[in-house]
Amino acid sequence: MTATVQQARPKVADQAHLLDLIDAAAKAVTRSSRDDLALRLSSIRERVSDSRLRVAVVGELKQGKSQLVNSLINAGACTVGDDEATAVPTQVHFAETASAALVLGSGGGSVSRVAVDLADIHRITPTTPLAKGQPVLRLEIGVPSGVLREGLMLIDTPGVGGHGNPHLASTLGLLQTSDAVFFVTDASRELTEPEADFLRQAAGVCPAAACIVTKTDLYPHWREVVSADRAHLAKAEIDLPVLPVSALLRGHALERRDEALNLESGFLELFRFLRDDVAQTVSATLRRLAGYEVSAAMEHLIMGARSELATLRDPARHAERLAELETARSRVEELHKRSALWQQTLNDGVGDLVADIEHDLRDRLRHVQRAAEETVDSTDPGPAWEELGEWLQDQAAKAVGDNFVWAHERSLWLAEQVGEHFALDHAVDLPDLEVNDVEGLLEPVADLAVIESGKLGITDKVMVGMRGSYGGILMVGLATTLVGMALINPLSLGAGVIFGRRAYREDMENRLQKRRADAKMAIRQYADDVAFQTGKESRDRLRHVQRQLRDHFTAIAGQTLRSLNESVRTAQDAINLSKRERESRIAELERALNDLCQRKESAQRLVAK
């Protein structure tokens, strides 16, 4: 079948050109013994070489996520079935031979891998005995698939977007490091409010997202559902494509090699989205990063070459040039000090950000808590406790997701502010703020406590009535014995009925008040638990952002300082050369400088694309 995911990754020509440019720059910095610059070029080369598209597949349970993954790669890698579901994040990548491994957290940020038999991959859960008590981060499956060979890597995730959203925080964190996200919903119904909320949050975190409507072969009205989904997204101002697909038709098309059936399945449009939208975005990002790194490395080498060349050409101005270099070195040394403006901006910004994010989360949860308590005050929470609990968990998950997205946006804003204060005479590139080790940072929030349903059996009702009627019968019965009537008589029985009904109503009212008090206590405990767990994860995430920014800009300052030191040294050495050595060195530097400038211009053209 000719329709594949060809060119789903950045064009090979672009990739080869980037690698050649990086390799040429690496040779130049190696000749200059600049191991610090070589390390950065090696890092960006590794990233360009591994230009696979990371696509996260998310959605509620039983919406067809795993079947979508299997259909994309034409292999049964992920768990599917009416009584089975994906329990841990599953990463599906290309491998010459099918294999599987369980990735476990070993503490201190390190991970370990345990081989998994392919027959057992559908039975992996967070409590699998293979983990031996260690937290399960993900399941990695290698599949010899042509689509995956083209540069695609899929990540099947546990259900999100439904009641409780137990995996919401880790999934949103995963989207930060993904190139695209496929949100999967089936054609049986329109998008629900929790699904729309998650789509809005995902669009704020991931650079490319799409809503995939599955199982179109099962529902004749799928076109109306797709149209309604698009209307819902437009109303919510969520600019995402809605792509209907059928895994069943895709499977039949591959078996029969039927192009028309494959077109009807909707998967060609899915591949087009990957190729034209996602891959181009990734390609542009890689070009920008590679261009910046090569340009910056060449600029460091050009700085030293120009300084030495200027001294060789005009020895009389040697002292003046040394003074200029010393001034520049002093300015860069200021960037290393803890009192530097950019470090003050970073430290103050992170402190303010942590406080703002924590306050925002508590404010959102407080509104959810108040709405839940108002519902409790106006109704009997016992019979509707399950529905109220699901609503509360949905709203809490929405609050956590919105808080996560806002923290992500504020982190990017802080990075820009720090970059502006750091820059001296030119702009600096900002690092990709990624938090890779998000799995397991947020421990599961305890379930909402159970309260009494408020339902009483016949026996309980009789016992409550009898306890209340006993006093009425005894009091009136004793009074009527004074006029010669028996203790049990019509008057005492009537009084017993009246007292019993009153006692029953009072008991019901007391039970209702107790249920309301218990419900409010459970709601407050749940909100506190969510705030505690999410707040810890949020603080860890922002501290990680702080370390990323600090290390990034400190490294840039260190490289610039080293370049200035090298410039001072070469300028001082140049003044002692003989006339013949000076002429030979000038010719050598002019050739090298011309070569460096050409490479820098090529890199800058990549950044400008």
The mean pLDDT of the chain is 78
Q: Is the pLDDT of residue 590 over 70?
A: yes
Average of per-residue pLDDT across 265-272:
89
| 164 found inside a domain | yes
> Coil, helix or strand for 9?
coil
Would you list the DSSP string of 379-446? S-TTTTHHHHHHHHHHHHHHHHHHHHHHHHHHHHHHHHHHHHHH-SSS--PPPP------TTTSPPPP
Q: Is the pLDDT of residue 228 over 90?
A: yes
Q: Compute the distance between CA of residue 532 and CA of residue 527 in angstroms, rounded to an integer.
A: 9
- The answer to whether residues 108 and 42 belong to one domain is no
What is the per-residue pLDDT for 213?
93
- Token pair, residue 363, equals 């404010």
Average of per-residue pLDDT across 240-253:
89
Q: CB atoms < 10 A from the CB of 488, how many?
A: 12
Neighbouring residues of 538: CB distance < 8 A, sequence distance ≥ 6: 354, 357, 358, 361, 403, 404, 407
Lowest mean pLDDT among 65-79, 126-140, 313-327, 427-441: 427-441
- The answer to whether residues 181 and 196 belong to one domain is yes
- The answer to whether residues 366 and 227 belong to one domain is no
What is the per-residue pLDDT for 165?
46
Lowest mean pLDDT among 248-257, 259-268, 277-286, 496-505: 496-505
Q: Is the pLDDT of residue 449 over 80?
A: no
Where does a domain end: 234, 265, 296? 265
- Strands of 90-94's sheet in order across: 110-115, 99-107, 136-143, 90-94, 152-156, 53-59, 180-186, 209-214, 242-244
Higher pLDDT, 278 or 499: 278
Share of the chain above pLDDT 90, in %: 5
527 burial class (0-12, 13-18, 19+ CB within 10 angstroms)? buried
Q: Compute the distance between CA of residue 378 and CA of residue 20 in angstroms, rounded to an integer.
A: 70
Q: Compute the distance between CA of residue 184 and CA of residue 278 in angstroms, rounded to an integer.
A: 17
What is the per-residue pLDDT for 490?
72
- The answer to whether residues 224 and 359 belong to one domain is no
Q: What pLDDT, in 10s, does the model give residues 389-408?
A: 888 887 887 888 788 888 88
- The answer to whether residues 589 and 496 belong to one domain is no
Average of per-residue pLDDT across 43-65:
82
- The answer to whether residues 291 and 420 belong to one domain is no
Looking only at the bridges linking them, the beta strands covering 136-143 and 90-94 are parallel
If one counts the domains in the chain, the total is 3
- Under 8 Å between Cβ of 576 and 584: no
- The answer to whether residues 106 and 241 belong to one domain is yes
501 burial class (0-12, 13-18, 19+ CB within 10 angstroms)? middle
Q: Is the pLDDT of residue 437 over 60?
A: no
Q: Is the pLDDT of residue 77 over 50?
A: yes
What is the per-residue pLDDT for 556?
79
Q: What pLDDT, in 10s, does the model give residues 507-516?
A: 677 777 888 8
Q: How confident is the model at residue 425 (pLDDT cuts 50, 70, 90)?
A: very low
Q: How confident is the model at residue 443 (pLDDT cuts 50, 70, 90)?
A: very low
- The answer to whether residues 67 and 194 belong to one domain is yes
Q: How confident is the model at residue 9 (pLDDT cuts 50, 70, 90)?
A: very low
Share of the chain above pLDDT 70, in %: 76
Q: How confident is the model at residue 448 (pLDDT cuts 50, 70, 90)?
A: confident
| 276 found inside a domain | no
What is the per-residue pLDDT for 487?
61
What letter does residue 64 receive in the DSSP assignment?
S
What letter does residue 191 receive in the DSSP assignment?
P
- The answer to whether residues 153 and 227 belong to one domain is yes
| 62 found inside a domain | yes
Q: Is the pLDDT of residue 225 over 90?
A: yes
| 151 found inside a domain | yes
Q: Compute the distance between CA of residue 468 and CA of residue 506 in angstroms, rounded to an integer.
A: 10
| 485 found inside a domain | no
Where does a domain end: 230, 265, 300? 265
Q: What pLDDT, in 10s, does the model give residues 106-128?
A: 765 677 888 888 888 878 887 78
| 273 found inside a domain | no
CATH number of the domain enclosing 146: 3.40.50.300
Higher pLDDT, 171 or 288: 288
- The answer to whether residues 304 and 435 belong to one domain is no
What is the per-residue pLDDT for 429?
63
Q: Highest mean pLDDT range out of 12-16, 242-246, 299-303, 541-545?
A: 242-246
What is the per-residue pLDDT for 436?
43
Closest CA to 208 of 140, 273, 138: 273
Neighbouring residues of 422: CB distance < 8 A, sequence distance ≥ 6: 335, 342, 428, 553, 556, 557
Higher pLDDT, 544 or 169: 544
> Coil, helix or strand for 115?
strand
Q: Is the pLDDT of residue 155 over 80?
A: yes
| 271 found inside a domain | no
Q: Is the pLDDT of residue 237 over 60?
A: yes
**CB-side exposure of 54: number of CA atoms within 13 Å?**
14
Closest CA to 244 of 328, 160, 163, 186: 186
What residue numbers bound the domain in which 240 lies? 51-265
What is the per-residue pLDDT for 310?
76
Backbone angles phi, psi at 135, to 5 degrees: -65, 135
Q: Compute the distance between CA of residue 57 and CA of residue 274 in angstroms, rounded to an integer.
A: 13
Higher pLDDT, 137 or 502: 137
What is the per-residue pLDDT for 297?
87
Looking only at the bridges linking them, the beta strands covering 136-143 and 99-107 are antiparallel
Q: Highest mean pLDDT range out of 60-69, 268-277, 326-335?
A: 268-277
Average of per-residue pLDDT across 202-216:
85
| 98-126 as b/e: b if 16+ CB within 10 A | eebbbbbbeeeeeeeeeebeeeebbebee
| 8 found inside a domain | no
Q: Indicate the helix (H) or strand (E) that contains 53.
A: strand 53-59
Average of per-residue pLDDT across 517-523:
88
- The answer to whether residues 36 and 177 belong to one domain is no
> Coil, helix or strand for 550?
helix
- The answer to whether residues 570 and 593 belong to one domain is no
